[in-house]
């Protein structure tokens, strides 16, 4: 199992930007599809974005399309989430997740991921 540590969260005004990072342990990071999820108070954890093992494929939840960008650097064992034009409704704890795969598949359900980070808080003020 890969171990994940998120960073980069914080407090930002509406319209601002943040970049989240997720550092993974181990030498097989390139064997994992990665995803970002978020969980607001009183709500279920929801899918935000996913990226294939080599970065060749990405997918986004509708509400973040055009504002968020997921990317990865396999040499640095890190996946990123660039968040622009932030809105108060983006406020949540953001989690990265990993799933080992031998294909270029993307995964959208939290139940399909096997490793999770501890989360990083993102708060967007209006």
Supply the pLDDT for residue 1.
Answer: 82
- What would the mean pLDDT of 25-45 be, rounded to a whole number? 94
* Reported confidence tier of residue 97, pLDDT bands at 50, 70, 90: very high
Percent above pLDDT 70 for the chain: 100
Question: What residues have CB less than 8 Å from 74, skipping those under 6 apart?
Answer: 29, 30, 54, 55
* Reported confidence tier of residue 50, pLDDT bands at 50, 70, 90: very high
Q: Does position 124 have pLDDT exceeding 90, yes or no?
A: yes
Q: Does position 5 have pLDDT exceeding 90, yes or no?
A: yes
- What would the mean pLDDT of 49-63 be, rounded to a whole number? 96
- What would the mean pLDDT of 78-102 be, rounded to a whole number? 97
The torsion angles phi and psi of 69, rounded to 5 degrees, stand at -135, 125
Beta pairing, strands 46-51 & 58-60: antiparallel
């Amino acid at each position: 199992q890969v171990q994940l540590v998120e960073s980069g969260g914080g407090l930002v005004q509406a319209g601002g930007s943040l970049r989240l990072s997720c550092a993974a342990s181990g030498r097989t990071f390139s064997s994992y599809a990665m995803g970002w999820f978020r969980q607001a108070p009183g709500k279920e954890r929801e899918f935000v974005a996913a990226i294939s093992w080599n970065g060749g494929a990405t997918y986004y939840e509708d509400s973040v399309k055009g504002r968020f960008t997921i990317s990865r650097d396999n040499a640095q064992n890190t996946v990123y989430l660039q968040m622009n034009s932030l809105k108060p409704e983006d406020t949540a704890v953001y989690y990265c997740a990993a799933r080992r795969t031998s294909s270029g598949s993307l995964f959208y359900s939290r139940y399909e991921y096997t490793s999770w980070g501890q989360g990083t808080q993102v708060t967007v003020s209006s």
